[in-house]
């Protein structure tokens, strides 16, 4: 829970992914300064795009989970539903 709400992503995993992207962006800056080939730069850009798409999927799933959780909080099985949502997100 953070600020009274449940978080549905793995903070360490997401932070690691973001730091990796940050490093890839710095790497592209170096490649540009060193005048590497456009093809080599494009390969790195594609890798960053893929990583950002994965982060987008994780955060989108979290958004859906937050909405569903707010709906089911009044349900008697809300804890079981919360656990199922977390499992889907963490394994999906």
* Each residue's pLDDT tens digit, 82-91: 777 777 766 6
Please state the CATH superfamily assignment of the domain spanning residues 11-91 in this structure.
Answer: Metal-sensitive repressor, helix protomer (1.20.58.1000)
The first and second tokens of residue 9, run together, are 């992503």
The residue count for the chain: 92
DSSP code of residue 6: -
Residues 6+ apart with CB under 8 A from 46: none
Locate the domains of the chain by residue range: 11-91
Predicted TM-score (pTM) of the model is 0.70
Q: How far apart are CA 26 and CA 36, in angstroms?
A: 14
Confidence of residue 1 (pLDDT cuts 50, 70, 90): very low
């Amino acid at each position: 829970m953070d600020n009274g709400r449940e978080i549905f992503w793995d903070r360490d995993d997401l932070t690691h992914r973001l730091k990796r992207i940050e490093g890839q962006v710095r790497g592209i800056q170096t490649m540009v300064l060193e005048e590497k080939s456009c093809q080599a730069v494009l390969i790195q850009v594609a890798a960053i795009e893929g990583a950002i798409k994965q982060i987008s999927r994780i955060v989108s799933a979290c958004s859906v989970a937050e909405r569903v959780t707010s709906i089911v909080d009044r349900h008697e099985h809300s804890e079981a539903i919360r656990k199922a949502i977390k499992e889907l997100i963490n394994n999906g």
